[in-house]
Structure 1
Amino acid sequence: MELTFGQYELVYNAFSLGIAAFLAATLFFWLGLSQVSDKYKMAVVVTGLVTFIAGYHYLRMFDSWGDAYTAVDGVVTSTGVAFNVAYRYVDWFLTVPLLLIELILVMSLTRSETVRKAILLGGAAALMIALGYPGEVSGGIDSTRLLWGALSMIPFLYIVYTLFIGLSESIARQHENVRGLLNTARWILVLSWSFYPVVYFAPFVMSLDGGQAQTVIEVGYTVADLVAKVVFGVIIFMIAVRKSQNEKA
């Protein structure tokens, strides 16, 4: 695959930004545990775990990108070593279910409701990632990618339905000063996740291939990851802090 120097640098710097943002967010969440009550500590621990896992996998992708290409005097050359896209999907397979569990844990649902929703939503999220992977590694922008991408949209739509219909009553029961944050959290989650299929199908719809497709996919996924994990995580942390303050008051 041929890349221009600009495309190579854009992906390289996007991975670098991801590493810094995810690891900094992990420190922020875990060092802030003292600001939340015991009831919400697990939600914040999981939030930091998500960004830690993402930071690790972005470090591996950063190294894999450097192994796959060399840039000398503005000329990018393929080394013959394949860029490992599996790192991203392993990351998603672990972190995407945990993102939903973060939201569930911070809502203070009953134990049975927490377990049920965690299993259903977490399972749907894992299935969504598993179905998208064959299309990502199919080796081209073709009908195979389109088919598996369409299949992965089925559990995604179930998750969206559950977040906006299944959790509406539970959110309505929350304290008024966290209700808005919970609504913001689910909107951020749904909108950022909606960006993934946009990136997934973009090369197909726009007839991109080679370096253009690779750049759009890697940079697009990185932007979506930063919003879905760092920005969403900050909202979860704010909810945990505010709920802790409410209980003390």
Structure 2
Amino acid sequence: MIVEAIASSTAQVLPTHTPTHVAPIPTVLPDVHYQVIGDSGARTLWVVFVIMAIASALFAGWSLKVAVSNRLYHVITTVITIIAAISYFAMATGQGVSVKTTVIHHHHEHGVPDTTTTIHRQVFWARYVDWLFTTPLLLLDLGILAGLSGAHILMAIIADVVMIVVGLMASFGTENTPQKWGNFAISMLAFLVVIWHLALNGRTAVRNVSQNVANFYMAIAGFTVVVWTAYPVVWGVTAGGHLSIDGEIIAYAILDVLAKVVFGAWLLVTHAKLPETNVELKGFWANGLNREGLLRLDEEEGA
């Protein structure tokens, strides 16, 4: 009797599930993307390193066939490709690279939680160090060829340095903010100053040299302006996320070879054919310190 009473008391009907009109909250998974170098990008870095190293050796060997007093173009051009070779070796071996993290927020309606997309993208800042040294040297080559004054050459180089440094700051800027695109705008303004010196002041100055040199300067300076203009185009495409790391490396590699190796070879070949382009440097450049006439204490004491 007792057992039956306990069994009947516990045999209660369990409550059924009451349906609600609230949608279930979806599970939010992290959306993370890694934009890093691949095989084609790595191979490109090594190939360009070899190209720059070979060009450096050829330019240096070429300079040995020229008198020391006439080696200014050869020295500058060789230093440009040497710096580029060092930069590409650093990038090929995993140096000079940082990772920029960008978090993009997505707002959803109807009670759906907001989500984020995190992008980790490699920034090869070693190329900016390369450009910081090589582009002023390229401008020095062009300024000397055109016969620009020291003041104009200095102002062009200062504008160029501003362009590179601010461009590096823009590459680490937050996506779609004044921090990034404001720096990019400043960099482009500095670039316009560089073009102004090359196109206007350079063209005016080179007319006082000779017609042959003027024609050559307009051709190689125009080539430089076109190639340099392609750099911010690649940067803009990269900043918009429309170019992979490998695509970015390949694009910049092609431009670097054109701006340094092709430019240097063209300059030295034409320089050898145009005596008007000679810049003869004597004194300390060619002969070192001349110590004739210096007072020697031992001779004075023995007099």
TM-score by length of 2: 0.66
Shift of 1:102: 1.4
| Number of the residue aligned with 1:77 | none
List alignment gaps of at least 5 residues for structure 2. Answer: 1-32, 99-119, 279-303
| Number of the residue aligned with 2:216 | 181
AA in 2 matched with 1:55: A
Q: Is 1:2 paired with 2:34?
A: yes
Distance 1:13 1:40, change over 3 A: same
AA in 2 matched with 1:26: S
- In 2, distance between residues paired with 1:141 and 1:52? 36
Larger Rg: 2
Aligned pairs, number: 226
Shift of 1:84: 5.8
- In 2, distance between residues paired with 1:231 and 1:246? 18
Q: State how 1:164-175 maps to structure 2 within 5 Å.
A: 164-175=199-210
**Contact preservation (8 Å) 1:97, 1:126:** yes
In structure 2, which of residues 70, 76, 81 is the aligned counterpart of residue 46 of structure 1?
76
Q: State how 1:67-216 maps to structure 2 within 5 Å.
A: 83=122, 85-107=124-146, 109=147, 113-138=148-173, 140=175, 143-204=178-239, 207-208=240-241, 212-216=243-247
- In 1, distance between residues paired with 2:70 and 2:191? 27
- In 1, distance between residues paired with 2:77 and 2:163? 20
- In 2, distance between residues paired with 1:99 and 1:127? 15
| Number of the residue aligned with 1:76 | none
After superposition, the C-alpha distances for 1:134-164 in whole angstroms (9 at most, x for unaligned) are 1112365665332211110011001111111
Shift of 1:170: 2.0
More helix by share: 1
**Contact preservation (8 Å) 2:143, 2:202:** no
SS across alignment from 1:2: strand
List alignment gaps of at least 5 residues for structure 1. Answer: 69-80
Structure 1 stretch displaced more, 164-173 or 185-194:
164-173
- In 1, distance between residues paired with 2:166 and 2:274? 37
TM-score by length of 1: 0.79
Between the aligned residues of both structures, percent identity stands at 21
